[in-house]
Amino acid sequence: MRRLSSLILSALLLAAPASPVEAIGQSGEPRFLVKAFLLKTDKTFDHATGWCGHDSVCSLTVGDYKVGLRFFLSGSSYRLRVAPSWDGADPCCVFKDGSDETSVPNGQPHDVELYYRKASGRQELGTLYIALESLE
């Protein structure tokens, strides 16, 4: 499984330069190119490429989900949150430890497991692969 994660991250990094970059809702100068790939448990996937400026918070839409990044003053460390991009009743999304947000210590490619929160526990949604590339 680790090899599959490595292959997906490599594909994500290689494909991003060919992907169109949207700057919807962003202002100012780009600071990071953000590449995200969501591999769902049913083997379907969504991906997106966007950029974050010098604001401490930015987001991009990956399929039906809004991926939010909140940067720390220290640089490329950030908090990651994933929510539905619609106003539905789906209790999405939590990370493996059950939290709504997780910390990513640096801008290196990273993968996290995502789950739907259910009354009876949780149901796996898939794995989010995310990478940042400094534009400075």
- Cβ–Cβ under 8 Å, residues 65 and 72: no
pLDDT at 136: 78
- HSE-up of 33 (CA within 13 Å, CB side)? 16
Q: Whole-angstrom Cα distance, residue 6 to residue 98?
A: 24
Name every residue whose Cβ is closer than 8 Å to that of residue 107 and which is 6 or more positions away in sequence. Answer: 32, 75, 76, 77, 78, 131, 132, 133, 134
pLDDT at 21: 45
pLDDT at 23: 45
Read off the pTM: 0.76
List the beta bridge partners of residue 37.
Answer: 47, 129
Sheet holding 65-71, edge to edge: 57-62, 65-71, 78-84, 101-104
pLDDT at 49: 94
Question: How many Cβ atoms from other residues are within 10 Å of residue 112's Cβ?
Answer: 15
DSSP tally for the chain: helices H, then strands E: 1, 9
Q: Which domains does the chain have, with CATH numbers?
A: 2-134 (2.40.160)
Q: Whole-angstrom Cα distance, residue 19 to residue 61?
A: 14
pLDDT at 72: 77
Average pLDDT by stretches of 10, the chain with 136 residues: 51 45 57 92 95 84 90 77 74 85 83 89 92 86
pLDDT at 111: 94
pLDDT at 135: 85
